[in-house]
C-alpha cells in the first residue's frame, strides 16, 4: 500500500488520528436532525431550494409556519453534498425550530457564521457548505409569503444574482474577495460559483478582477 498524505479537512491540527471536525459536526452528520424522509407529506409546505447536484452541493428546505405568530414550527431538509453540508443543514433546522421557532424575520437574518459557530467551527475549506443552507431557508420564507398572498414581503437576495444555480450574487463575490479569495479557484472553494453553471464564469472572473483591483490594486 503506498503512502498517502492525510487530508487536513479530516485530521485535526494536532496531527494525531482524531478528526478535524468538532464533536457537534460529527453528531449532526451521523445523527442528522429533521431530515426529510417523505416529500409527499410536505407537498403543502413552503419550500426553498438552492444549488445543484452538478456542482456538488444542493439543498432543499421545507418549513411549516404558524400564521398567527409567523414562527417556524417545523423545518425539514435534504442535502446532496459532503458531511459538512449535511451537518450544517441539520444544525440550521434545529436553530430554525428551537425555543418555539424563529420568526420569519429572524430566519431571514440567520447567517452562515451563526450556523458555523453552533457547530463549533468548520475547516476553512468547508465553510462554503454552510452558505447554501441559509439561502435555501430564505427561499422557503419567500415561498411561504407567496403562498400566503403576502407578495409585498417577498425579498430578493441582496445584490444581483450571478449564478442562478447557487444564487451567488455580486455581493457574495465582493465579500469573498475581501475574505482572501483572490483567484477563481479560491472563489469557487468558498462559493461553488460557476462549477455547475460554467456559462456564468466570464462574469465571475470579471467581477473577481474588478473587486481585486478595487481593494488591493492591480496584481
Evaluate whether 45 touches 74 at the Cβ level (below 8 Å): yes
- pTM score, whole prediction: 0.69
Question: pLDDT (tens digit, 9 = 90+) per residue, 10-68?
Answer: 333 334 344 478 899 999 989 999 999 999 999 999 999 887 665 556 789 999 999 99
**Vertex 85 angle, CA 189 and 197, to 5°:** 50
The residues assigned a catalytic role are 55, 129
Domains in the chain, please, with CATH? 12-155 (3.90.1010.10), 156-219 (1.10.10.1100)
List Cβ neighbours of 8 (8 Å cut-off, separation of 6 or more).
20, 123
In eight-state DSSP terms, residue 19 is: B
Alpha-carbon distance values, 151 to 104, 134, 146, 185 (Å): 14, 21, 5, 38
- Mean pLDDT within 206-217: 87
Amino acid at each position: 500500500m503506498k503512502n498517502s498524505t492525510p487530508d487536513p479537512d479530516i485530521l485535526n491540527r494536532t496531527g494525531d488520528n482524531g478528526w478535524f471536525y468538532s464533536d457537534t459536526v460529527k453528531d449532526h452528520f451521523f445523527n442528522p436532525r429533521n431530515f426529510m424522509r417523505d416529500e409527499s407529506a410536505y407537498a403543502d409546505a413552503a419550500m426553498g431550494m438552492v444549488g445543484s447536484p452538478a456542482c456538488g452541493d444542493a439543498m432543499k428546505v421545507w418549513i411549516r409556519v404558524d400564521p398567527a405568530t409567523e414562527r417556524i414550527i417545523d423545518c425539514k431538509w435534504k442535502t446532496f453534498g459532503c458531511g459538512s453540508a449535511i451537518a450544517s443543514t441539520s444544525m440550521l433546522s434545529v436553530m430554525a425550530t428551537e425555543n418555539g421557532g424563529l420568526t420569519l424575520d429572524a430566519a431571514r437574518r440567520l447567517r452562515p457564521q451563526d450556523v458555523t459557530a453552533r457547530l463549533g467551527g468548520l475547516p476553512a475549506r468547508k465553510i462554503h457548505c454552510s452558505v447554501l443552507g441559509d439561502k435555501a431557508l430564505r427561499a422557503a420564507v419567500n415561498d411561504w409569503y407567496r403562498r400566503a398572498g403576502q407578495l409585498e414581503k417577498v425579498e430578493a437576495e441582496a445584490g444581483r444574482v450571478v449564478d442562478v444555480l447557487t444564487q451567488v450574487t455580486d455581493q457574495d463575490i465582493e465579500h469573498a474577495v475581501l475574505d482572501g479569495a483572490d483567484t477563481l479557484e479560491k472563489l469557487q472553494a468558498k462559493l461553488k460559483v460557476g462549477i455547475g453553471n460554467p456559462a456564468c464564469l466570464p462574469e465571475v472572473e470579471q467581477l473577481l478582477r474588478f473587486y481585486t483591483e478595487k481593494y488591493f490594486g492591480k496584481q
